[in-house]
Structure 1
Amino acid sequence: MPSSAAWLMALLLNLMLAISTVFIGSCLSESPSKVRLVGGAHRCEGRVEVERNGQWGTVCDDGWDLNDVAVVCRELSCGAAIKARSGSSYKPPAPQEQKVLIRDFNCRGMEDTLSQCEQDGHVYNCPHTKDAGAQCEKSPSKVQLVGGAHRCEGRVEVERNGQWGTVCDDGWDLNDVAVVCRELSCGAAIKARSGTSYKPPAPEEQKVLIRDFNCKGMEDTLSQCEQDGHVYNCQHTEDAGAQCENPDIDSPFIPENVRLVDGPGRCQGRVEVLHQLEWSSVCKAGWNLQASKVACRQLGCGRALLTHACCNKTTQGKGPIWASQMSCAGQEANLRDCPFRSLEKNCTHDEDAWVECEDPFELKLVGGDNPCSGRLEVLHQGTWGSVCDDGWGEKEDQVVCKQLGCGKPLVPSSKARKSYGPGAGRVWLDDVVCSGEEQSLESCRHRFWGYHDCTHKEDVAVICSESIPRL
């Protein structure tokens, strides 16, 4: 008969083996490796979507509560959890062919990721009207990548006190890039690049806000890294850049971006998609009106008016042809949200797809003696609203006068505002930044429509050199 000590040792070994088996099994079991919020005003609010086996799907709101939202906010490096919302609050709604992947998450609220929470993947009788939503605080410190092929690559810009600026590349390395990638919910860090690689370059009036980040590579946000804000003798030729893996591109068929080229305007032309850093024409056999609706929406144009095969020799494509077919429902916010498959037929450039969308972006100057002077208003969703003067300057004035056919700015906008007083109603745009070369104000960077921290005392006014009589 074995001794009590030997018996106790055997018991402990069996117990440890059992625990290890359970732990390894839980690690190997299916769990959503990614989460995102879709359709909200910013990346920290929206319908909850998780990824399983390369497929994005929604979460049923059975048992969905603030503890679950807290974990989503933490996983996305957002601020505090505000509210567990209905996913149907966010538009466009989830397409009907998108699956509900998780029936129930049971989080305690302290987990780092949703994959660590108890979950029930046996989904039944849960339509998209019961999709879960989440609202988190936006992170107080912000970072964005500008000018790259997709949202996970570009020149590094950070926001401080409502102002966007660049980062000096002194000491910039892959540890810093890893933190940027994590904060933006991108994939692995690929390379610390020069910000001058990305076009257009940072405008001269944009400040370099941070001289040096010293990240260990494990921080969740750049704000958690040691940093030196005492910037001196650092030009935009030293701007930092970052290249991360793009988690949104999880299929060989999914495009990273879309554009319309060789048409009379940016909302009309031959369709090209960007895939793996290469622009390719789209074959009409793999395109339809539903895809056109999505492309027009993604480009910030109005409704899709027409799609057909083109082109003559001057407008047809000359490079590669994207050999994929998409099955959009027409309600998706982005082409990458549509199902894709390989196109069976071989196309030529005689079959390139052509799309025409409405161009809804309109602006006007009101309150002046003629249409070339007055308070600036822009049209969005059928409503006219004003523009806040945060960051507004001579280059922005130049674009407005150019778009209206009114010559050049005559006086600074700060002086022009005194002539026309405040507006009323909506403030549509804030933090507008132009290079001065744009043909339309819509090509300039700005905050999301309707998001601002301004009053009408800060409304932009413009006085241009030419006078057009009112009709």
Structure 2
Amino acid sequence: MALLVFLLLAFFTGPAQFESSSTVRLVGGPHRCEGRVEVQQNGEWGTVCDDGWGMEDVAVVCRELNCGEAKWTPSGTLYTPSTDKDQKVFLQEVICQGHELNLSQCDQVEVFDCTHDEDAGAQCEKPSLTVRLAGGPHRCEGRVEVQQNGEWHTMCHAGWGMEEAAVVCRELNCGEAKGTPRGTAYEPSTGTDQKVLMQEVICQGHELNLTACEPVDIFDCFHNEGAGVQCEKPSLTVRLAGGPHRCEGRVEVQQNGEWHTMCHAGWGMEEAAVVCRELNCGEAKGTPRGTAYEPSTGTDQKVLMQEVICQGHELNLTACEPVDIFDCFHNEGAGVQCEMLENVRLVGGPRRCKGRVEVKHQGKWGTVCKAGWNLSAVKVVCRQLGCGKALLTKRCCSTTQGQGPIWLSEVSCSGRELSLQRCSSGILGKNNCTHDDDMCVECEDPFDLRLVGGDTNCSGRLEVLHKGEWGSVCDDGWGEEEDRTVCKQLGCGESLFPSAKIQKFGRGVGRIWLDDVRCSGKEKSLEQCQHRFWGHHDCNHKEDVAVICSEP
């Protein structure tokens, strides 16, 4: 019977359309782009029956609400709170082609036998808002603008408070919210053709971004009612990554524990000068592309800012003016080349791994001041010079003090750097030191090994060099991993067989340097394997290790 009535109505009345003044909303869902479909007519909200409701109809609703793609056609009964029993069901069936701009353009059949158990629902993509603060003195203060479909819209000040400001500041990595000024306070003002996207957005203050807040659409807000936000001005930690030393490389800035690249657009010697000054790296020498430095940035690393504008006199990059643009990629990253130490050496000592520390800068050798200098820095120098372990550091005596410039002071190393150039320091040549503060260091002589007594360099009795003297190695605990480590270090082939007890190469004389050597097989040098202290053993030369490797 119901079907007959429907057919008769459709035949005699035909499809009608909504009143042009009707509007649509989705209620009861987790966000404004999902929920039970309701339409407004003559100031009253009512539901839509799910007869014939399909993805074409949902697509139109999603388009009208600026909600992205249609995802699903759920039942409206899934969403709470449920409809009031007195609320009307306005529409029996909606007939859309899917291309309409809004639901009022679709045909419809007026209701005659539908109940709220048949309410229609819609699920659209949750809207994602790109947010910026425009017209302010820096990127963390200004008029609130959000981007959708490639266009920037202002947001209404109605209901805007510190909770909403806190969310914007968090999303932009801008620190704490400081205030909510009117958007009209910032110049240049918005154009008359710029749209107001939302009148009001309701946040609790804990959301990670504005998309997670609840927007409320109202249609009587103008640009003179726009919202503004004032956050803490961001403080940027800067580094140069991927270069040959700490004063050259790809520009990266840190915020909230993450490193971001910076765009090369507009990057020049003024910006490079500020970075070099902030890193205590001397004069700026060039602005190469960031892609010149390896390893390259990961694809998931963010570009923080496209452009930063400096005058060249600022003390740090935070004091420059950033400009946010959103079409920069990692292959457009900025790089900086600053002046840096050219080399390091030890002079005035009895051997090359002991003496006064000198560094070369601007073609001249100069000394290093005691300020900030410690054993961690000595470890780096010893490693850089190819010497052994760091033994000590002290102020040079009067007979070993240097002359000329004092280049380095306030040196800070972790001890793991590959060169002194990678340690932080004060500005080169800018210090209050005298040559009474010159530093001397002592490293062990470089480790070396050899096989003696054999027919080739790849077989023989094992000897190691320590403190300038060759000595043998005891066979206690020696095995295949140790053999392999020696063969690898000498550039020979594989170890041929366990060879520790071979005596055909004769016994050694003099020092027995190593005992109880234990290698894992991963070491590049025998020195890196575990062993007793140098010279400590319970062996004699009958226990000297011999090794036989294949030829390379």
Same fold (TM over 0.5): no
Structure with the larger RCO, 1 or 2 (CA within 8 Å, 6+ apart): 1
> Which structure has the larger Rg over C-alpha atoms?
2
Normalised-by-shorter TM-score class = 0.3 to 0.5
